[in-house]
Amino acid sequence: MKIFMMPPNSLILYDLIERFGHEPLSLMKALRDRVTSNEIEAPPLNVTLDDVKLGLKYAGIEVPSGIRGRLAVYGPLIEQAEAAIFMEDAPYSFGCVGCQRTNELAKLLVRKRKVPILSLEYPSNEEEAKDMVYKVKQFLEGLK
Amino acid sequence: MDKDTETRLIFIAPSSDLTPDRIARFVHNLGNEVTAKETCYGVVLQGPREAVLRTLTEVRKMDPNRIFSKIRAFPAGDIRRCRAHHGSRPGFAQLEKEWKDLCLVESGLVCLERGEVPPEPKRRGKLPVKELKKLIDEVPQ
């Protein structure tokens, strides 16, 4: 099954989802096509003007263009998602306020799709980590 | 870049005895059509998707619970990201944090391997107001 994850570029979640036999929907894969496209002479590092327009499908015009641009990348992933795993309580160094607001909107869009969701927190000690890995496994096995 | 080409990051958990050099040599010895680039946290693999996945499966066998992997958007050595070309690494703070947490995740995987059911951890509490006031009072005016 295709699993959406939050943060969408998380190493831990990507690895665990793949390890337990599912397909992670990651930001890296979505961006890969953009940064390696031969059709664009100078592949963009960030989103393009078209992306910002595409983002209107997922957020209103009053939402800042940075968030709409990000949602243009996240949106198609959310539409494909058959389940989702959220890891909350990430350190502030994971991104700017724009990233945080995008993540909040993305989580709302996933919740609206009514797919099974597992919400976790970044582990801070061994006990929490054991519990996190166990819950991820139980959740993913339950989806099969 | 070909659609079939995949770039993958291989991370070695801090608790592992393996070194990036050992993994890079191992990958070269496998003889798959895969490029391996040593990094501070592990290895970057690049090549046809199937060959990369085959290589990853072999590499994982070296230390299954301490080797982690995810794909990467930018190709290996891309001048926009490669340090040798003064590229920026905007996502490095996250990679660093998650790399440090890999030894915690490893303990979870070991626990699963043994078939143990971990006890429910204590819920993280919020800082009580009294404690916060105490902290404020401690700060010299």
Question: What value of ipTM does the predicted structure carry?
Answer: 0.87
Which helix (H) or strand (E) element contains residue A9?
A: none
Distances (CA, A) of A73 to A57, A58, A69, B139: 11, 10, 7, 45
Whether B79 maps to a domain, the answer reads yes
- Per the prediction, chain A carries an average pLDDT of 87
Domain interval for residue B108: 5-113
With CA atoms as reference, the chain B residue closest to A30 would be: B73
Whether B139 maps to a domain, the answer reads no
Average pLDDT of the segment spanning B19-29 = 94
List, for residues B44-88, the tens digit of each pLDDT value.
999 999 999 999 999 999 999 999 999 998 888 787 777 777 766
Whether B80 maps to a domain, the answer reads yes
Q: Is B97 on the interface with A (CB under 8 A)?
A: yes
Chain B residues close to A14, C-beta within 8 Å: 69-71
Which helix (H) or strand (E) element contains residue A21?
A: none
DSSP-derived 3-state class of residue B12: strand
> Smallest Cα–Cα separation from B83: which of B41, B47, B52?
B41
Whether B141 maps to a domain, the answer reads no
Q: Is A88 on the interface with B (CB under 8 A)?
A: no
**Which residue type occupies A2?**
K
Whether B39 maps to a domain, the answer reads yes
With CA atoms as reference, the chain B residue closest to A28 would be: B73
Whether B17 maps to a domain, the answer reads yes
With CA atoms as reference, the chain A residue closest to B105 would be: A129
What's the total number of domains in chain B?
A: 1
What CATH number corresponds to the domain at position B69?
3.30.70
Which helix (H) or strand (E) element contains residue B8?
A: strand B5-12
List, for residues B85-113, the tens digit of each pLDDT value.
776 677 778 888 899 999 999 999 999 99
Ordered by where they begin, the domains of chain A are 2-143 (3.40.50)
> Smallest Cα–Cα separation from A103: which of A71, A60, A55?
A71
Tell me which residue has tokens 């190493």.
A11
- A43 has pLDDT over 80: no
Percent of chain B with pLDDT strictly greater than 70: 98
DSSP string, B46-104: EEEHHHHHHHHHHHHTTSTTTEEEEE-SSPTT-TTT-GGGT---TTHHHHHHHHHHHHH
Average pLDDT of the segment spanning B38-49 = 91
Two tokens, residue A26: 């990651």
Which pLDDT belongs to residue A47?
66
Q: Chains A, B: CB contacts under 8 A, how many? A: 112
> Smallest Cα–Cα separation from A25: which of A59, A96, A75, A63?
A75
How far apart (Å, rounded) are the C-alpha atoms in residues A64 and A129?
36
Which pLDDT belongs to residue B52?
94
Q: What is the pTM of this model?
A: 0.89
- B133 has pLDDT over 90: yes
Two tokens, residue A88: 């909350």
